């Protein structure tokens, strides 16, 4: 397991992460943890389309640290239609009714 930062234990769906320079906010859509409770990674809406066409990406805890992500002091409400659709896509990776193009501009 990688080293964990103290704030990682408090991450949950709707948590907002800033990049190192605070120029981009990202909303945590799903949190994955090891059996010990330590953070494995987070799933976020994708920024740029990849070859998979999926509307989400997963970033490991080690990548969060290396890329300088840190938590914002607030959470986002995930109550829009696109939030619901994205949640369905993340929790059932066989679903293909939402693409990366559909989440362009979505945090």
Domains of the chain by residue range: 6-96
SS3 content of the chain, % helix, strand, coil (to 5): 25, 30, 45
pLDDT at position 87 over 60: yes
Give the sign of the dihedral formed by CA 83, CA 84, CA 90, CA 91: positive
Return all residues near 76 (Cβ < 8 A) that are at least 6 apart: 14, 15, 16, 27, 107
Is the pTM above the cut of 0.75?
yes
- Cα–Cα dist 36/19, whole Å: 26
Q: How confident is the model at residue 2 (pLDDT cuts 50, 70, 90)?
A: low
pLDDT at position 51 over 80: yes
DSSP structural state of residue 10: G
Q: Span 73-99, mean pLDDT?
A: 92
User: In residues, how long is the chain?
Assistant: 107
Q: Span 5-28, mean pLDDT?
A: 94
């Amino acid at each position: 397991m990688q080293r964990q930062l103290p704030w990682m234990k408090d991450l949950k769906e709707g948590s907002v992460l800033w990049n190192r320079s605070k120029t981009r906010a990202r909303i945590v859509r799903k949190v994955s943890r090891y059996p010990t409770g330590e953070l494995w990674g987070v799933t976020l809406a994708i920024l740029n389309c990849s070859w998979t066409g999926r509307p989400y990406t997963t970033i490991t805890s080690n990548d969060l640290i290396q890329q300088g992500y840190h938590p914002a002091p607030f959470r986002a409400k995930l109550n829009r239609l696109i939030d619901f659709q994205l949640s369905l896509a993340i929790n059932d990776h066989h679903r293909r009714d939402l693409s990366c193009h559909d989440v362009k501009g979505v945090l």
